[in-house]
Chain A
C-alpha cells in the first residue's frame, strides 16, 4: 500500500509544479512591455502613410528594444514601452507611444545618448515601476527626474553660456541664485566656501540614503528632498542652521542647479563645454557669494533665530569708521572663533587674498571719510570694580547682566571669544565712546551719555576681564 501513498504524493507535487510552470510560461510570454508594443504596432498601422508602409507596419517584430551606449557601458530598455519615441509618425500619439517633444533627438539621437542619461530611471528594467524607479521598494537612487528639473541634465555636457539661450535658462538662473544667495558662505564648492554646511560638489548624485528622508512629503527621492529643504530647511532637518528664504520658483531653480552638481563626468565625446563661463570676481558678487546668507545687506544688526546669535552689521558706517582695512582683513582671514564666522583665508575656506581685498573694498564703500578720534587705552590705570558698577547700570540692560546678550537682549554677546581675544581694547573703547550709529548701541562718550574716558577705560577693562573669570 505504501506505493499508493507515494504515487499520490508524486502526482500532487507534479501537478503543483506543472501549475507553476504554466504560470511562469504565461508570465514569460506576456511581459508588461509587450502590451505597449502591440499598441504601438496598431498605431503604426493606423498612421501608416501608404499601403506599402502599412504592410511593413504589420510585419514589425514585437521584441526587446535595447540601446547599448558603449562609452558609458549603459543599457537602456525604455523603448520597450516608448518605442515611438523617435518615430515622427507618433507625433500625435499618447504617452508612452508619443514622439519625443522638441527637436532634442535631432542632435541627441537615441542610439547614441539613450534615455536615462538625461531622464534617469533604471534603464535595464523592463517594467514600468522599476524602470521609473518610483516607490520605496524599487530601491533605485536615481528615479525618473520630474520634468521641471530636466534642464539639470543639459548641464552635464553644456556650459552656462550655451544653456542661457538654448533652453537651459533654469540652470543658469539657478546658478545665479546660488551665487547671490550666499550659499558658499557655508558650503564648499570646488574647495572654496565656508564649512558650516556640507560640501556640495556631488550633492546632485548622492544616493537617496544620503538624505534624511523622514519628513519629506510625497515620494521620498532626492528631487523632493532638495525642493522641500530649500523651502523650509528646519522642516526636513530639525535644528538645521541653513538660512534660506526662497519663493516656490526660486526653490525650483536652485533644485535644478543643485542637481547639476554631480560626481560623474561625461566622456569627452559627449561633452560640449567651452569653459568660457565668466565667474564675476568683483567685490559685490563675491560678497553675495560668500557673505550675504548671514550678513544680509550688512546694515541690520539683529538677533537671528536660526543661528541663535546676533549677526553684526558689517556695512554700518559707524562700524566701518572704527574698523580699518587691516582689522577687517584679519577678521575675514582668521574668522571669529566660537562663532559661525569661518576663517576665509586660502588654506581654510579657500578665498584668495585678492578676493578678500575686493570684498573689503565692497564692504567699506560707505565708510565715512573722517577717522575716529584715537583712544589711547594704555594711558589709563583701570579699575575693574568701577567698571563693573558702570556695566550693571549702563550695559546690562542690552548685553545682559553676565554680558552674554542672547535672545531677549538687543546687544551682542560680549563673552564671546571673538570679542574677548580678537578685539583690541582701543576698538572696544571707541565703540563704547562713539556708539554704533544705525544699531541700538548708543554713544556713551562725551557726545552722548557723558561718560569720561576714564570710565570707558574701566568698562573696557571689566569687559575684558570676563575671559579671565572664565579661566578661574
Chain B
C-alpha cells in the first residue's frame, strides 16, 4: 500500500488525496460565502447622490452666502475659504433660514449661531458641516455624506 513511511512525516498518497479534497472543498465554500456576502454590499444605491457639483470657485467670491434649495445646503465663502453647512434643522428636519446672527428654524424655534452651534430651541445638536472637494476641471463638489468638524474651511482657486 501507499503508507510506507508514516513515521517520517511524509504525507502519504491517500492522505494527500484526502487533504487536497477537503482543502478545495473548504476553499470553494469560502469562495461561495464571499460571493454571497458580496451581494449585501451594493456598488450603488437607488438614491440620489450625496455629492453635489456647485460650480467653479469664481462663482463664490468672498462674502457669498448661497442657499441650494434642492440640495438643502448653504455654501459660504469668506477670507479663510469655502465651507458648506446643511440647511436641515437637526430637530425635526425643517429647513432653516439665514439671519444676521446665524440660522433660525421656522418650525419649533431652534436657533443656531454663525458656526451652526445650537444657541436655543429644541435642537439636540448643531448643524453639520460638509466636505468640499475640487474636481480636476476646477469645479467644486460638496460631499454631504462626509461630515467635517465645524470651522473646516477649504481654500481652492
Give residues in A with beta carbon < 8 Å to B. 3-4, 7-8, 10-11, 14-15, 17-18, 21, 24, 28, 44, 48, 53, 56-57, 60, 63-64, 66-68, 70, 75, 77, 87-89, 109, 111
Q: A57 with B21: in contact, given A14-B27, A17-B28, A64-B43 (CB under 8 Å)?
A: no
Complex interface: chain B residues within 8 A of A53 (CB): 136, 138
Complex interface: chain A residues within 8 A of B76 (CB): none
- Determine whether the beta carbon of A89 is less than 8 Å from that of B136: yes
Q: Is B46's CB within 8 Å of the partner chain A?
A: yes
Min CB distance A269 to B, Å, is: 9
- Determine whether the beta carbon of B32 is less than 8 Å from that of A70: no
Q: How long is the Cα–Cα vector from A17 to B32 in the complex, in angstroms? A: 9
B:83-141 near A, CB below 8 Å: 134-138
Q: How long is the Cα–Cα vector from A63 to B45 in the complex, in angstroms? A: 13
Complex interface: chain A residues within 8 A of B23 (CB): 14
Q: Which of A18, A44, A60, A109 contacts B24 (CB 8 A)?
A: A18
- Determine whether the beta carbon of B49 is less than 8 Å from that of A10: no
Q: Is B22's CB within 8 Å of the partner chain A?
A: yes
Q: How long is the Cα–Cα vector from A21 to B44 in the complex, in angstroms? A: 23
Min CB distance B26 to A, Å, is: 8
Q: List 19 A-B contacts (CB under 8 A).
A: A4-B17, A7-B18, A8-B21, A11-B17, A11-B24, A17-B24, A18-B27, A18-B28, A21-B31, A21-B35, A44-B136, A48-B136, A56-B135, A56-B136, A67-B49, A68-B48, A70-B48, A77-B44, A111-B53
- Determine whether the beta carbon of B46 is less than 8 Å from that of A68: yes
Q: Kindly report which residue of chain A lies nearest to residue B134, judged by CB atoms.
A: A56
Complex interface: chain A residues within 8 A of B31 (CB): 17-18, 21
Q: Is B14's CB within 8 Å of the partner chain A?
A: yes
- Determine whether the beta carbon of B52 is less than 8 Å from that of A14: no
Q: How long is the Cα–Cα vector from A263 to B35 in the complex, in angstroms? A: 42
Q: Kindly report which residue of chain B lies nearest to residue A66, judged by CB atoms.
A: B44
Complex interface: chain B residues within 8 A of A56 (CB): 134-136
Q: Is B62's CB within 8 Å of the partner chain A?
A: no
- Determine whether the beta carbon of A24 is less than 8 Å from that of B35: yes
Min CB distance A350 to B, Å, is: 42
Q: How long is the Cα–Cα vector from A19 to B84 in the complex, in angstroms? A: 50
Q: How long is the Cα–Cα vector from A15 to B136 in the complex, in angstroms? A: 46
Q: How long is the Cα–Cα vector from A7 to B17 in the complex, in angstroms? A: 7
Q: A111 with B52: in contact, given A4-B17, A8-B17, A11-B17 (CB under 8 Å)?
A: yes
Complex interface: chain B residues within 8 A of A18 (CB): 24, 27-28, 31
